[in-house]
Amino acid sequence: MIRSAVVFIFLVGISFSAFSQETSRKSTRVNIPGSFLIDIGVNNGLNAPDNFDTGFWGSRTINLYYQYPFRLWETKFSIVPGAGLGMDRYKLTNNFTLNPTPGTDGTYALVNSATLYPGTKKSMIVANYFDVPIELRFDSNPDDISRSFNVAAGVRGGVLLDAFTKIKYKEDGETKTIKDKQNHGLNDIRYGFYTRIGIGGFNLFFQYNTSQLFKVDKGPEKTSMNAFTTGISINGF
């Protein structure tokens, strides 16, 4: 499913870019072409439950979005809708993991993965989303955005495509990996806001999900954890 979505986004991007180039040939008006945006960031959480101890780089986000700006008349502002994939990873440094089955209270507790798989070396929680961001962007020089200072603020909504826990462990001298593909109480939708600032195709960004990472009363300790991400964006004009 993820691979098919990536191919779809790529083909849509090519189609929009070709349309933009053809429109530019037929018009003397300056057009801002669509572009691919790649976000690379690190994840953190507010109100995280006990034992949800995440590593810096292992807990990462990669967003792959296609955006198409609509300039607001002759101003320096644009409305920029987009669509694409958001791929989140949470590396638990203490090797805890989400229990494969909910407890009697309906929550998916955090348990020491060594009790399930002795010799655990690595434990991760993975969630992949289809996202639709839309932002208001300011470009200091909209006629040459590749060299322009820009700042953007927007909102984003997403739908969970798939999720799983991933454990790497050693057994009888052999390193093995096991994935448990289920939602583990994760929220089926997410929404929040973000901001981005930079020059040309290089930006710093911050995202905050106002929706909770887990469904109400389904996460560890019935957590009300909200995830946020900071990182860099690379935009290919």
Cβ partners under 8 Å of residue 3, min gap 6? none
Beta bridge partner(s), residue 77: 138
The pLDDT of residue 237 is: 61
Instruction: Indicate the SS3 state at residue 145.
Output: helix
Closest CA to 117 of 76, 175, 58, 181: 175
The pLDDT of residue 187 is: 97
95 is written with which tokens? 């090797």
The pLDDT of residue 27 is: 41
> Phi and psi of 19, rounded to 5°?
-60, -45
The pLDDT of residue 192 is: 98
The total number of structural domains that make up the chain: 1
pTM of the complete model:
0.84
> Phi and psi of 33, rounded to 5°?
-75, 160
Residues of the chain with pLDDT under 50: 1, 4-30, 32
The pLDDT of residue 30 is: 46
Cβ partners under 8 Å of residue 211, min gap 6? 187, 189, 190, 191, 192, 226
The pLDDT of residue 162 is: 96
16 is written with which tokens? 């929009």
15 is written with which tokens? 């189609």
62 is written with which tokens? 């990669």
Which range marks the domain in which residue 99 is found? 2-236
